[in-house]
Chains A and B, each alone.
Chain A
Amino acid sequence: MPSTPLQGIRVISFGTGAVIPDFGKIMGELGADVIKMESRENMDFMRTIGADPDNIGGFNESNRSKRSFGVNLRKDKGRELVRRLIKMTDIIGENFRGGVMKSHGLDYENVRQVKPDIIYVSSQGFGSGGPFADYQAYGPMLSAASGLLSLWAHPTDPYPVGANVPLPDHMASKQAVFAAIAALDYRRRTGKGQFIDMSQVEVAAGLIGEACLDYTINKRVQKPAGNRSPYSAPNSCYRCKGNDQWCAISVSTDAEWQAFCRAIGNPPWTKEAKFGDVLGRVRNVEELDKLVEEWTLQHEPGDVMNTLQKAGVAAGVCLRPAETLTDPQLQWLNAFVEVDHPVAGKRIYPNVPFKMSEAKLPPSRPAPILGQHTVEICRELLKMSDSEINRLKDEGVLEVSKR
């Protein structure tokens, strides 16, 4: 039995931003040897959003548990080295702009000439083919183009703005991991490789498939519902005591409603007949929400959550990052891991979010410095001599860490 789930599997990542970097990180967390191809000339853009490319939180999170191979893909010799590594590789993930891999001669059709059973996950914002195929696309644009953003607003908002969240990036990365490991299992059974062309805008649309059907079947274009639910009330995010403090509450059944009323001390308005059943509460939701908020405003969000959950009512604080670190359930789940990065120091990262009874997972390793593992990969995998490595370094084909 292998010591980690993906032991012995090698992944090459041509990744930038979030999707393929996060994909590679997860493969690394499961025990694969993940090699990130990068160069100073064409850096992962997440390395470029701060002063020091090795000290950026988002980059260092999504690139943990990988090795960095500094190589210039614009040079013939660089591409040749990559092709030699691909022969020893099981899975390739790439999310460069549409057409870039082809221009390097590293697209699926070319790669499978040297590695016929390669599993190749290619993921562009809009997928390949079609008029938008080579649009540069970040997650927030894909939530915009998928219809998701149009529904992510209060009904009274002048236009939708969504959140700081680059949705669907980190959903797409998981979809890619799922696909690659399913393909790996298929290869184990059949010996066959795969090419998977994943469209991130379709990942976003997949989150609102019901709304898509409402259009294709009912010809209805849904409007944003904000925090309201068609079948439960109260169901919203309520302002609480304090500065910008909020707690979400959901009451669905009549039993939950009665528990809710008891928990907040049975104020007289809870006895009103119009709130007595689900239909009445949904119909009179505007008035109901105001009354509920009168109660939540007197309490801190953590107290609202605890009081209601103890009574069997779903409630959750709009947590901020600092609060998640002290969340007792996340602590119990061991949801965070501290990793010591040579430049960034000790920082907190999310841990692997599932427990598998038969899997031993390797410890999380810090994101690499650009070119940190170039030399060791040349020696170990490519069996190159130091003089050869130095020559290619001088020619600008290989790049090594300067730290």
Chain B
Amino acid sequence: MAEQQEGTLSGYRVLDLVDKKGAYCTKMLADLGADVIKVEGPEGDPTRSVPPFAGDVPHQERSLYFLYRHANKRGVTLNLEVPDGKSIFKKLVASADVLVETYPPGYLASLGLGYEELKKINPALIMASITEFGQGGPYRDWKGSEIVSYALSNTMITSGFADGAPINLPGTPSYDAASLIAAISIVTALYMRGSSGKGQYIDTSVHETSRLGLYPWMVTMYSYNINPGSPPPGPEGRLGAAIYPVYPCKDGMIRVVALTPRQWDALVKVLGEPEVLRLPEWREFFYRIANANDLYALMLEFTTKYTMLELAERGRQEGVPIAPIYDVSGFVSNPHTKARGFFVDVEHPAVGKYKAPGPPYKWKGTYCGIKRPAPCLGQHNEEIYCEELGLSRDDLAILRNTGAI
């Protein structure tokens, strides 16, 4: 089968001036074939020092965070705060379709590189800003972090055991929510530009998007529950252990999601119809939530008779969703992940060959995958500045010396 090389977004150029808030956004565009150019300061993007590192060797080319989030992108160095850097940046902007930036509000404008300036250079430019709190408002200049934005998303309060401290999510999920939503607005703007010819400016914030990516129903459920006659439960308690219970089994743990009476009946069948589980009150979802600890104690005897996959398969046959709880090795190595081909081969000049997670979808009509590893610092300076923007190699030497690139 001939491999298709053209991606859905091939032909578009994206300038990536992002930190953790936008890394997944530009990755999504790159995975679909956009020419994403990561623009880093001459000293390198700060996330190049995020641990852990390949081989546990701290090095600017070995941060697993950077390797994952910036695969499929090219990279240049550029100092936006000096005149030479600014003029090169304007050339890049003239050649670009999209610019994504995550600087504090007003920073680029203070350099004379705000949207109003850039659209004079390129009226078709789509510029998207992702900030913690937005371009204005009382929290505009407040700071965020992974755990802070998760707390503010109003979902952290529901995380963990009922009587323990709320738990942070692994990774950078609030930032990824912002990235996903910014990516939607960017492709929407590209689609609009197809008929209008005009670019536009997009403003989005982690504060507003995190709840939408994590759990947009919270406020709505609250707004339904504060009215009389509305159904329980309220969304606010830490009920994960009760709503989506986890049970040990022979070779690990499973998670069961039985919401309806039919699913509960199926679960009882899966476990061999033990008498203690056949009491009619257990069929009630809210009864099970209210008595989750008692139920947990009862269930152990039966779930531990089976393996994870035995239970998942029996659940499939009887009609109750049961999933194995994998650690990362279990996810990487299980037959399903392998059959899907989710992990793909990547070769990086400093790290060597390794398997990396691919995009979460397969496209039939166009290429979607990992074509190149994350860029080394300044790897594409020559390719882009000389071959594409027409600077000479002597120019590059001078710009390097003056700290512009």
Contacts and interface: CB of A to CB of B under 8 A. Distances in A.
Given A144-B324, A149-B255, A248-B156, A321 B215 contact: no
Interface residues of B, number: 154
Q: Give the interface SS of chain A, mostly helix, strand, loop or mixed.
A: mixed
A356 B200 contact: yes
B64 A165 contact: no
Contacts of B216: 22, 61-62, 170, 350
A362 interface: no
B157 interface: yes
A151 B204 CA distance: 28
Nearest to A61: B220
Interface string A232-257: 10011101000000111110100000
Interface stretch (A34-42, A124-132, A377-385): A124-132
Contacts of B204: 353-355
Given A57-B217, A212-B328, A355 B160 contact: no
A92 to B, nearest CB: 13
A340 interface: no
Given A5-B192, A150-B327, A318-B151, A353 B316 contact: no
B190 A185 contact: yes
Given A164-B240, A227-B168, A325-B219, A174 B213 contact: yes
Given A181-B188, A194-B366, A316-B151, A147 B69 contact: no
Contacts of A387: none
A188 B364 contact: no
A96 to B, nearest CB: 14
Given A213-B67, A222-B328, A355-B203, A206 B236 contact: no
A397 interface: no
A24 B182 CA distance: 17
Interface in A94-128: 108, 126-127
B5 interface: no
A160 B325 contact: yes
Contacts of A161: 160-161, 240-241, 244, 246
A192 interface: yes
Nearest to A232: B145
A298 interface: no
A178 B28 contact: yes
A193 interface: yes
A66 to B, nearest CB: 16
B376 interface: no
Contacts of B222: 321-322, 348
Closest CB pairs A-B (n = 7): A332-B137, A141-B323, A250-B145, A130-B339, A321-B222, A202-B360, A57-B224
